[in-house]
Amino acid sequence: MAYSSLSDLALLLPTPDIAQLTDDPTYSGGILSGGGMTINASVVTEVVSVADAIIDSYVRGRYTVPFVTVPAEIRDASRGLAIAGLFERRPSMTAGVPEPVKDKKKEVMEWLKGVRDGKNILNTGTASSLSAGYFKSNKDSDSKTFTSDILDTYA
């Protein structure tokens, strides 16, 4: 299940802009057609898939992915990364990626690093989706290689 959709992207980016960013011109019989007139849904699906894969790579150590119920924060992150992906595939259209889009992508990436590091917690509605980290060892206080007496000789 995708974390965002075309309708989610259309809330933040006007439909004609999405069409310009997704509808690649094609040549058929020497005639140029397309190029900004209609939204190419497969391009939208691809950039959303890439955005979702980035999100999953950051949160999979703490949460079970893919999310069955998508938290609002994840949907927002997916939209931000997908819109950046649309602009990045057509940098010449608007003389580069707009600053607000770059800023949003940077903000999302910093937030995802915070989730990865345990500084940002997702509102998933269930406590069980958090993966509890733990350390496991086969050593106890009796199986030490270096006892306190041996270590004290090096002080």
Q: In this predicted model, which residue has the larger pLDDT, 134 or 66?
A: 66
Q: In this predicted model, which residue has the larger pLDDT, 72 or 145?
A: 72
Pick from 12-16, 71-75, 146-150: least confident: 146-150
Contact indicator for 29, 98 with CB cutoff of 8 Å: no
Per-residue pLDDT of 52-102, as tens digits, reads: 999 999 999 899 999 989 999 999 999 999 999 999 987 665 567 889 999
Q: At what angle do helices 72-88 and 41-59 cross, to 10 degrees?
A: 130
**How would residue 147 be classed by pLDDT, with cut points 50, 70 and 90?**
confident
pLDDT at 146 over 70: yes
DSSP helix/strand/coil, 115: helix
* Residues 6+ away with beta carbon under 8 Å from 65: 55, 56, 59
Give which of 80, 83, 71, 75 is closest to 108, Cα–Cα.
80
What is the pLDDT of the chain when averaged over all its residues?
85
pLDDT of 138: 72
